[in-house]
């Protein structure tokens, strides 16, 4: 099944990293977060990707156009330009990179990819969030529901620790990283039927507003509940936390197949 990844945002809240590269290309460990996301889907057998590029999209295109060279040993014949690869073990993925406009909103980006996915069920997510979503269970839920769209519903991680107070105002405890809210939010990791294109419009339309609101009003939006790890990379603090998990060998978004 094809996987659409929305990778065109400007990442203004992560300006320390995004002045020279798009946010999906900010690295966690030795890989851009975009590749971490792709490896997650590939671990479930989904390795055909449609990447909606935008801001600094040429950086993403250049990364994948030279992907094999970075992952293999090779010999170059400078006279002819012929390249001979040695023991290449690169991933057997198909990656389509589409310029969807620097200022296009998420609904518009999806609309521009219609010719690549129309007629098929497909998945979609954002290019800046990692999660331990069970993709098989997500697809089973979607197919059983019979709806046009399924969104993965998550609870946002707490940004700050929480003080536990007694009645007289004494601090009894300090709890770190508890759930920040009982409210469920859009965690990405969508499954979509081709009829979803009837709900999206031009470049100015965010997918998260009118399209999702209309789908919900029509009874065509389901929610797959995910209680495991989920974390967006919105700020430098988020990046450093993801880096810490990765370097410590405790990255919960990875899956051993």
Q: pTM of the full predicted structure? A: 0.88
Mean pLDDT of 34-43: 97
Contacts of 156 (CB under 8 A, 6+ apart): 179, 180, 181, 183, 185
Beta-bridge partners for 7: 53
Give the number of C-alpha atoms closer than 13 A to the C-alpha of residue 38, restricted to the C-beta side: 24
Architecture of domain 2-247: Alpha-Beta Complex (3.90)
Beta-bridge partners for 52: 6, 98
pLDDT over threshold 80, residue 24:
yes
pLDDT over threshold 60, residue 229:
yes
- Per residue in 186-202, pLDDT tens? 999 999 999 999 999 99
Q: What residues does each domain of the chain span?
A: 2-247
- Per residue in 54-98, pLDDT tens? 999 999 999 999 988 888 889 999 999 999 988 766 788 999 999
């Amino acid at each position: 099944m094809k996987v659409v990844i929305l990778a065109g945002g400007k990442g203004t809240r992560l300006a320390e990293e995004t002045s020279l590269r798009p946010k999906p290309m900010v690295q966690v460990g030795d890989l851009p977060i975009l590749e971490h996301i792709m490896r997650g889907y590939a671990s479930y057998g989904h390795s055909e990707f449609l990447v909606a590029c935008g801001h600094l999209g040429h950086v993403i295109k250049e990364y994948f156009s030279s992907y094999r060279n970075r992952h293999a040993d090779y010999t170059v014949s400078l006279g002819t330009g012929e390249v001979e690869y040695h023991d290449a073990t690169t991933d057997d993925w198909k990656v389509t990179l589409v310029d969807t406009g620097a200022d296009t909103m998420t609904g518009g980006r999806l609309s521009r990819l219609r010719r690549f996915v129309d007629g098929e069920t497909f998945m979609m997510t954002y290019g800046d969030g990692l999660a331990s979503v069970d993709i098989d269970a997500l697809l089973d839920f979607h197919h059983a529901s019979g709806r046009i769209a399924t969104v993965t519903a998550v609870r946002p991680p707490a940004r700050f620790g929480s003080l536990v107070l007694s009645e007289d105002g004494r601090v009894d405890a300090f709890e770190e990283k508890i759930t920040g809210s009982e409210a469920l939010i859009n965690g990405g990791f969508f499954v979509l039927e081709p009829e979803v294109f009837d709900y999206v419009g031009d470049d100015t339309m965010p997918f998260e507003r009118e399209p999702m609101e209309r789908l919900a009003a029509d009874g065509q939006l389901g929610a797959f509940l995910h209680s495991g790890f989920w974390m967006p990379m919105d700020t430098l603090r988020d990046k450093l936390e993801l880096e810490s998990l990765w370097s410590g060998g405790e990255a919960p978004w990875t899956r051993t197949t």
